[in-house]
Amino acid sequence: MKKNYFRIVAGLGLVQLGLLSTAVRAQDTTRVLNNVVVTATRSPKKLSDIGRVVTVITSDQINRSQGKTLPQLLNTVPGLTFSGSENAPGISSSVYLRGASSGNTLILVDGFPVSNASGIDGTYDLNAFPIDQIDHIEILKGSGSTLYGSDAAAGVINIITKHAKGNGIKTSVQLVGGSYNTFNESVGVNGNINNTGIALNLSDADSKGFAGATDTTGSGNFRKDDFHQRAVSLNLSQKVSDKFSINGNLQTSYNKGHLPYGAFTDDKNYTYANTFLFGGLGAKLLVDKGALNFNVSQNTVWNHYNDLPNDANFQSYYHAGNIGRITNTEIVFNDNLGKYWDITSGADFRYNGTHQLSNYDTIQSVNNNIISAYTSLFFKSDIFHMELGGRYNHHSKYGDNFTYTINPSIFLAGQFKLFGTVASAFKAPSLYQLSSQYGNISLKPETTTSYEAGFDWTIINNTLTFNTVFYKRDTKDVIYFNSLPDPPYGKYENGSKENDKGYESELTLNLSNITASAYVAHVTGALTSANGTRSDILYRRPKNTFGASVNYKVIKTLSFGLNYKYTGDRVDQDFSTFPSTNATLKHYNLVDVHVQWQACKKMVLFGDLKNVFDEKYTDWLGYNTRGTNFMAGLKYQIN
């Protein structure tokens, strides 16, 4: 049973689903009220005009983070914990936004949802996304289900890939190497020729890694769990006329490597190989005062896992393969209705399908679909702004549900924004939860009601900002795994409820040669089981985090960066005992340093030293984390 469950978890696939959308630029700060963002409203709007919390990781910040993985970069965002980001390369990580459980943060690529149709809870593993293919990232905190549907209960992370920029074609190469025999190479071709735009990025990554599991025997002979990735991203755009354009997107990646048997346990022979293939086509038509967008995409992922017998653990041969498919079709309309009103309306159809086979259990070919229609009205008059939105969903298995958003805000003196939100959200049960050997076809969606209140204050225009937000989130019909004494030893059920609350504060500074920020975040939660038992434990999620970062431009061509994060005590489950017990993971501090030098007009040299003080800590019980490690490299613009 235990091994079976671990193999199922380890066998989760990844799904990539993305299309082109409007790429927006932001200043090199995380929160500035004159920044333009698209994720919160599905159309370009200034932060001062919307009452939502949106953090932007800019292209400059990403360029200074090429020695990091995407989870490591996201782990620096206030209120966001990327548990497992410092584990061995290739081991999955979990995103916890504002204390919500994994799977309640929706991941977008270029504005369109990606998830894992063959996974237990549909989560998307961002370890598979090369950071060198990303232009910038927008993070919407708080419910996003009205505009985006399922999984957006805690927020939305929108990864916006590199698109064509500038006239003429430019080519660049990047070479990076460092600890654990890690080497990354990438090539980018980008630009516009007349009315045609192209952005082609090829990435290659290899790492010998380190032992993924903790060696409690002290023998020191656990195998190094390696990681290998080949990835291609292609974005094409064609301006047909002044009012009509089309775009296409093709993404594929191949990942393989080794995994440990589980917590505290080595495995010399456990390998995986996963292939992801995505294709999308979109069209945009400008109308009198707005735009009509149509997009269709298809994503297929193949996952393969093999484990030959290992006498040290006496396990039998294991093999698993699964396929996940997602088709998404959507039409979105944005329009200015007059002096005071804007509208965003849309309809979408999403198909999910999977087939899974292993020598432990089999899921026959199963599928479901969800049809949705939504509208949000945006009102703006002098200092008062308001969003009112609703979404209707029809799911082929559980039926109908509805979500809403009420989001007023006041903008005073061009510097101070006061806002509040009451919104609902939902998370549909996954195909695995519905149809596996543990499945329950009668499952209902998890439903959430969230409340927010806060402010954004520009103390000095374009220089110093301060923001604080308080939030509360109540979730009912939480899907949980109910252990049973007889085969199949468990079943997914509705019945638990979760109540979370917390706050975040952030101060940012932007000068000509210094950018800096500091933040603090606090979250608490309580989970009440179906039988009424209450627990105040949010597994792997710290109550307290805080951090600071600074980037100093010494001279025009040389800059230094410093990043610090404190992660508080957490609780993890120890499955090495039966029944499982809880273990407290101690708090830890991480300090990273970055240096970047513009050696000449066409070449940039950079280096990252991470975990500078070699902090010893545990993110997941039974798994290793990275000690002091470095990455260094160069980027060269060929033409």
Q: Which two tokens stand for residue 368?
A: 């479901």
- C-beta of residue 182 within 8 angstroms of C-beta of residue 69: no
CATH number, domain of 228, equals 2.40.170.20
Q: What share of the chain is helix, strand, coil (3-state, %, to 5)?
A: 5, 60, 35
Per-residue pLDDT tens over the stretch 296-352 = 988 888 888 888 776 555 556 778 888 989 899 999 999 998 889 999 999 999 999
Mean pLDDT in residue range 250-267: 89
Mean pLDDT in residue range 219-230: 90
Considering only CA atoms, which of 207, 298, 188, 294 is closest in space to residue 244? Answer: 294
* Residues β-bridged to residue 362: 357
Phi, psi (deg, nearest 5) at residue 132: -75, -5
What is the chain's alpha carbon radius of gyration, rounded to the nearest angstrom? 24
Mean pLDDT in residue range 390-409: 96
556-577 b/e with 16+ CB inside 10 Å = b?
eeebebebbbebbebbbbebbe
Residue of higher predicted confidence among 529 and 294: 294
Q: Which two tokens stand for residue 315?
A: 């396990």
Query: In this predicted structure, what is the pLDDT of residue 356?
Result: 85
**Torsion of Cα atoms, 152 then 505 then 29 then 418, to 10°:** 80
Indicate whether 75 pLDDT > 60.
Answer: yes
Indicate whether 10 pLDDT > 70.
Answer: no
Phi, psi (deg, nearest 5) at residue 109: -120, 115
Query: In this predicted structure, what is the pLDDT of residue 579?
Result: 76
Indicate whether 19 pLDDT > 50.
Answer: no
Q: Are strands 182-193 and 134-141 parallel, antiparallel or unpaired?
A: unpaired
Q: How many CA atoms lie within 13 A of 195 on its CB side?
A: 10
Terminal CA-CA length for the chain? 58
Query: In this predicted structure, what is the pLDDT of residue 574?
Result: 87
- C-beta of residue 223 within 8 angstroms of C-beta of residue 258: yes
Per-residue pLDDT tens over the stretch 120-147 = 888 877 877 889 999 999 999 999 999 9
Q: Are strands 290-307 and 581-585 parallel, antiparallel or unpaired?
A: unpaired
Cα-based distances in Å from 195 to 20, 198, 285: 16, 10, 16
Q: Which two tokens stand for residue 333?
A: 């309309």
Q: Which two tokens stand for residue 291?
A: 């735009």
Q: How many CA atoms lie within 13 A of 306 on its CB side?
A: 8
Phi, psi (deg, nearest 5) at residue 146: -60, -40
Cα-based distances in Å from 629 to 75, 209, 210, 607: 17, 11, 12, 11
**414: number of Cβ within 10 Å:** 12
CA distance 192 to 166: 6
Indicate whether 587 pLDDT > 70.
Answer: yes
Residues in the chain: 639
Q: Which two tokens stand for residue 227?
A: 């990681």
Per-residue pLDDT tens over the stretch 588-603 = 999 999 999 999 999 9
Q: Is 22 exposed, middle or buried (0-12, 13-18, 19+ CB in 10 A)?
A: middle
pTM value?
0.90
CA distance 81 to 597: 30
Residue of higher predicted confidence among 121 and 507: 507
DSSP 60: H
Cα-based distances in Å from 75 to 183, 213, 425, 546, 621: 22, 22, 24, 11, 19
Q: What is the DSSP string of 438-468?
A: T--TTPPPEEEEEEEEEEEEEEETTTEEEEE
Mean pLDDT in residue range 209-226: 87
Cα-based distances in Å from 390 to 25, 105, 393, 402, 419: 29, 19, 10, 7, 19
Query: In this predicted structure, what is the pLDDT of residue 489?
Result: 85
Q: Give the three-class secondary structure for 198.
A: strand
Phi, psi (deg, nearest 5) at residue 72: -65, -40
- C-beta of residue 271 within 8 angstroms of C-beta of residue 240: no
Between the ranges 45-54, 103-112, 511-520, 572-581, where is the mean pLDDT highest? 511-520
Which range of residues forms the domain containing residue 74? 2-637
Cα-based distances in Å from 590 to 167, 363, 487, 505: 42, 42, 44, 20
CA distance 325 to 439: 19
Q: Give the three-class secondary structure for 356.
A: strand
Cα-based distances in Å from 304 to 16, 212, 273, 284, 322: 17, 19, 5, 38, 7
Give how many domains the chain has, as a whole number.
1
Q: Which two tokens stand for residue 553?
A: 């431009």
Per-residue pLDDT tens over the stretch 316-329 = 677 888 898 989 99
